Amino acid sequence: MSDTTNYNFSTGPFEDLTSPGPGSVEAYDNAAGQGPGQCLKDAIQNEIFRGHIPYFWSEFTPKAEAQFGLAREVDADATAKAKARAKEGATINDVLEKPTAWIKRLKASLPDFAPVVALARSVASSLAIDPSPSRRASGPGKAFLEKADSMLALDDEQLEAKVSKLLATVEGFDLTRDGDGRPTRDSLAALVKAFFDAMA
């Protein structure tokens, strides 16, 4: 009998989809064909990309802005797109440039990029890769991420209408948007969580 388990996932407008997968760490390692420990390696890499990298940027960016004197600029195009999608009277915060664009400007402004790299290494080494429930509880959580996914599947007008209602309740929330002016998944999930917290 094969060692498999059914796993649920949601994407876009589709909820409660199910696919079979390895039913144990050993079954995963065998299927991966990379030998013992591959399940742990993949779990760590998943945690790094889903949680740790955003955590790193949130800690590194303000420190680098303060140390090197170059703040992230407003992305005029993304802000204009966000405002164009919003309903009349809605308050839309300026969309800041992506960290990758900001870091390129920072690199170009300095004669030596080594101090920035040193700061990045220092910040990274101080941040534990932490998959614990307490760390996850501090983020938006699975239910709010799924709600964000369902909202992001809407067309722009419907999405902005819902976002405007949330922002009207959660005053001062700094919603992060992507280059097209749409809310990022994690930031939208955090906004939904903040809305429910405010209504509690």
List, for residues 31-59, the tens digit of each pLDDT value: 888 888 999 998 888 878 767 777 788 78
Q: Are residues 43 and 65 in the same domain?
A: yes
> 72 and 1, same structural domain?
no
Q: Six-digit token pair at 91?
A: 């308050």
Q: How many domains does the chain have?
A: 2
Residue 27's domain spans which residues?
1-36
Tell whether 21 and 47 lie within a shared domain.
Answer: no
Q: Is the pLDDT of residue 138 over 60?
A: no
Cβ atoms of residues 156 and 182 within 8 Å: yes
* 21 and 54 fall within a common domain: no
- Would you call 76 helix, strand, or coil by DSSP? helix
When pLDDT is averaged across residues 14-26 and rounded to a whole number, the result is: 87
Residue 83: its pLDDT value, please?
Answer: 74
Q: State if pTM tops 0.85.
A: no
- Residue range 59-75: mean pLDDT, rounded: 90
